[in-house]
Structure 1
């Protein structure tokens, strides 16, 4: 099946190292809080070893967990490496962590996959008692399928492929189907007589499901199916319809079915904590203001930590509010110069690398209180406005009631800053002024972050030629 490399719906990527083998995954939240999880397993042709990642699941309203079948650079049927089944235990543990973090029960989980992914869907559903297994063209004799068609995967899973190891892998699925206590799992097995695996890999094992209350064999006899790799493509529309029914809580059978149960306002802190601890490119963290704290509208500052990001992009209701550069330690801060009105603001933030890669989104509620009255503009008392000063040293003095400091600038160039004492300030630079006209802006600030409108003074400094002319007039020459 032809697939593009990434799903279109927003996803979080992560790596779970809590089990004996690291497991990589992608996760996408459900729409409108739908209470269901679909776990997706990959076939051999899946790009980057993530199955059904070409956007076909975009309209599925469940939480979706794609699990990558890539271990030591190869495929392992989500089972083993060199006959060590730590892979299976690690994958099972990851699924259980997501089910727990989402607050779901086993019957609210569907295992889904095609080919070896279909085998994995049956394996994990029947071994661990999840509600539904939707398996498209699975194989039941895993060892034989590997030995005959997949030498690279066979080498990874078995090491040296011996008859004993092939037989051991061949026995896994038939023994599980026959002996599992989880016969109430709703099993949907999609296959076709045109699939070259059907005669040896599926048909002999259908009878093992005889006493399953809801076993369903979806048998596609389309003449357009030309082999194993085309079954999935030809059955995909009906498979997606069936998957959406399972997500809605309808497992097709005679009896009562219950749908709905969405909880859009459900607390997601547990799943957020799990994602934050395992995602590959972590979402930015907001440390200031602290949770529950408020900020005055005249001094809105947001700051935090964004490891791996070059900058943090900040948005409000779809409007870009600005960005903040990170330092070498991943710390960032954004100060907003314009006052904000009092109220609650739902910010969305994400990290961006130098290459343009974006992190998952962080949602942060910012509570702003009413802004304090602005400081009055400072007054420059000396030199007088529009005056002539001899230079080259020019001292500026003035008044700034209620302020802690003043900052002086010419245009965008900051000249310096001085403290205010008892409402008065004085500033004199160590350098000499050039001759000619100058306009200096002075802004006042206080400890609460308030900044005044600018005060302004313009003056003319006598240049060197003017001073020489005065000397000539005084002493002759």
Structure 2
């Protein structure tokens, strides 16, 4: 008998940049109209800094919001970087906006996490009044822990010197909340074990404060198969998921029962749909990268083909084929990027998809480039990049890149049209034999197109294409040589 297909749920990616720090998230809609939200925080070793995101929550009926703990390249416990708590404010801002967009209240929310994710679930749940908190093997003296156990994270959160006063401040964050009795009605589910090497310093000293909460539940696991911190959550995943399923259904596993079957199949989703659209990781206002080479349907060699282009405003261009990541090409200050694949291409047709990524992680629309690879094609020596030719004056505009026509193209009079990229320019001009032909405007992303609108004389043409800024300063020219066949005699522009 074949195995049943694994259930999966659609996951949407987004970035909420409305706060002081952009917060990356993933979201999945509830099943069957369930009116609950589960917010998931990541542990220190979570893949891509998203916790519990490997499909283990696929059967959960609630909405699920995964929040990434990656700010300026490091982990923060969702709290601070260099003791700047703008991270915390941005994270709670994201959670609050999702709760509001779903039409829910803090009583309809479960915060979930293990290790540092468990610490975050406790902190945000207690401080901001969320009803349910599931925390597996958390650290409650955060400052001491990151200083001694994960100093790289400690320096990221506390600053390079990890000052003792700052360590004490982070150590006190959770104990002070517990001592104050914050959010006294919270349902708290804490998982730990004496076999966890962190138990004696990070959990046991604070159990007295936790036991003051009427709805505190302590899952104390003494399995001989638990040998370290990481194994506690692994061995307790089934009961943890059981707790999650009950909380999602409105049942707090303790004395007493809340409402069950908390579902609204016809609930209005316009609020959350609008939020997801506005924070989508793909932004239509961010121009897709321009591919200068290879041209569409080019014939390329097995090795050594050079990909170049423009992506103004981006920090990198991400390159994919058949849904699989291939590489990232860094983008220079002037928007240019170059990539040559290290491995060989397979022979035959290829369709490569590219998108640009800005400093906040937003992505552009996609650009496709189709080409064919043949073992009979010899790699050409890379042509000089016109942005760095000797004719380019330092500080001046770079010569424009011309994508169409390509040098030595053979065209009919109806096929002559010009297209390319001129970063930083206001317009692009065209001359032949020193005679000005025309000029066209340059779009904000650097792209330009000129369709002459006349019939060209038969024969070889050399058109010089130059860029100019708003002050009239001109770049060096890019010569384009092409030939025209089947032209109508005498059909040349006035003054040509």
Q: TM-score range by the shorter chain?
A: 0.5 to 0.7
| Cα distance in 1 for residues equivalent to 2:196 and 2:286 | 50
2:262 alignment counterpart: 261
- Report the equivalent of 1:214: 215
Residues in 1 aligned to 2:257 and 2:244: alpha-carbon distance in whole angstroms = 18
Q: What's the RMSD between the two structures over aligned residues?
A: 2.4
Q: Does 1:84 align with 2:84?
A: yes
Alignment of 1:372-451 (within 5 A): none
State the 1:210 CA deviation: 2.8
Q: Which residue of 2 aligns with 1:281?
A: 282
In structure 2, what is the Cα distance between the partners aligned to 1:9 and 1:192? 32
Q: Is the 8 A contact 1:127 1:180 kept in 2?
A: no
| Residue in 2 that maps onto 1:138 | 138
Contact map agreement 2:289 2:354 (CA 8 A) in 1: no
* Contact residue 250 and residue 262 of structure 2 kept, 8 A: no
Describe the shift of the 1:308–1:242 C-alpha distance in structure 2 as closer, same or farther (beyond 3 A): farther
Partner of 1:472: none
More divergent stretch after superposition (42-51 vs 264-273): 264-273
| Greater mean deviation of Cα atoms: 255-264 or 61-70 | 255-264
Aligned 1:85-104 pairs, distance under 5 A: 85-104=85-104
C-alpha deviation, 1:254, in angstroms: 1.4
CA distance in structure 2 between the partners assigned to 1:209 and 1:149 by the alignment: 24
Is the partner of 1:32 in helix, strand or coil? coil
Over residues 121-156 of structure 1, what are the superposed CA-to-partner deviations in whole Å (9 max), with x where a residue is unaligned?
A: 000000000010000000000011101111111111
- Name the residue aligned to 1:33: 33
Provide the rounded CA distance (Å) in 2 between the counterparts of 1:279 and 1:97.
14
- Structure 1 residues 308 and 100, CA, compared in 2 at 3 Å: closer, same or farther? farther
| Structure possessing the higher radius of gyration over alpha carbons | 1
- Return the TM-score normalized by structure 1: 0.58
Tell me the distance in 1 between the aligned counterparts of 2:138 and 2:286: 43
Q: SS of the counterpart of 1:107? A: helix
Distance 1:63 1:354 in 2: 34
Contact 1:281 1:308 in 2 (8 A): no
Query: Are the counterparts in 1 of residues 117 and 138 from structure 2 also a CA contact under 8 Å?
Result: yes
Shift in Å, 1:308:
5.5
Query: 2:130 touches 2:186 (CA, 8 Å); kept in 1?
Result: yes
Kindly state the Cα deviation for residue 181 of structure 1 after the two structures are TM-superposed.
3.3
Following superposition of structure 1 onto structure 2, how do residues 217-232 of structure 1 map, counting pairs within 5 Å?
A: 217-232=218-233
Give ranges in structure 2 of 5+ residues lacking alignment: 1-6, 291-350, 356-496
Alpha-carbon shift at residue 62 of structure 1 (Å)? 0.5
Q: Which residue of 2 aligns with 1:62?
A: 62
1:355 corresponds to 2:356? no
Aligned pairs (5 A) from 1:14-53: 14-53=14-53
Contact 1:26 1:66 in 2 (8 A): yes
Q: Does residue 1:200 correspond to 2:201, yes or no? A: yes
CA distance in 1, matches of 2:187, 2:287: 43
More helix per residue: 1
Q: Where does residue 173 of structure 2 map in the other structure?
A: 172
Q: Is the 8 A contact 2:126 2:186 kept in 1?
A: yes
Offset of 1:256 from its aligned partner? 3.2
In structure 1, how many angstroms separate the alpha carbons of the residues matched to 2:145 and 2:16? 29
Provide closer, same or farther for how the CA distance between residues 309 and 184 of structure 1 changes in structure 2, counting only shifts above 3 A: farther
Q: Distance in 2 between matches of 1:239 and 1:121?
A: 14
| 1:348 alignment counterpart | none
- C-alpha spacing 1:308/1:98, structure 2 compared with 1 (3 Å): farther
TM (norm. structure 2) is 0.56
Deviations 1:214-240 (A, max 9, x none): 000011111000100111111111111
Q: CA deviation at 1:177?
A: 1.1
Give per-residue Cα distances to partners, 1:11-46, cap 9 Å, x unaligned: 110111111111100000001110000000000110
Contact persistence 1:8–1:54 (CA under 8 A): no
Shift, 1:355, TM fit: 2.9
Q: CA deviation at 1:356?
A: 9.0
Task: Please state how far the C-alpha of 1:91 moved relative to its aligned partner.
Answer: 0.3
> CA 1:192 to 1:272, structure 2 compared with 1: closer, same or farther past 3 Å?
same
CA gap 1:256/1:245 in 2 versus in 1, 3 angstroms:
closer
User: Distance in 2 between the 1:96 and 1:16 partners?
Assistant: 12
| Structure 1 residue 180, shift from structure 2 partner | 4.0
Unaligned runs of 5+ residues in structure 1 are: 1-6, 285-304, 311-352, 358-477
After TM superposition, the runs of 4+ consecutive aligned structure 1 residues lying more than 4 A away are: 305-310
Cα distance in 2, alignment partners of residues 80 and 228 from structure 1: 24
Distance 1:308 1:115 in 2: 39
Counterparts of 2:50 and 2:8, CA distance in 1: 14
1:198-223 CA distance string (max 9 Å, x none) = 00100010100233120000111110
Shift of residue 257, structure 1, vs aligned partner: 2.1
Partner in structure 1 of residue 105 of structure 2: 105
User: Could you tell me whether the CA contact under 8 Å between 2:41 and 2:118 is conserved in 1?
Assistant: yes
3-state secondary structure, aligned to 2:53: coil
Partner secondary structure for residue 275 of structure 2: helix
C-alpha distance in 2, partners of 1:309/1:121? 39
3-state SS in 2 of match to 1:113 = strand
Partner SS state of residue 197, structure 2: coil
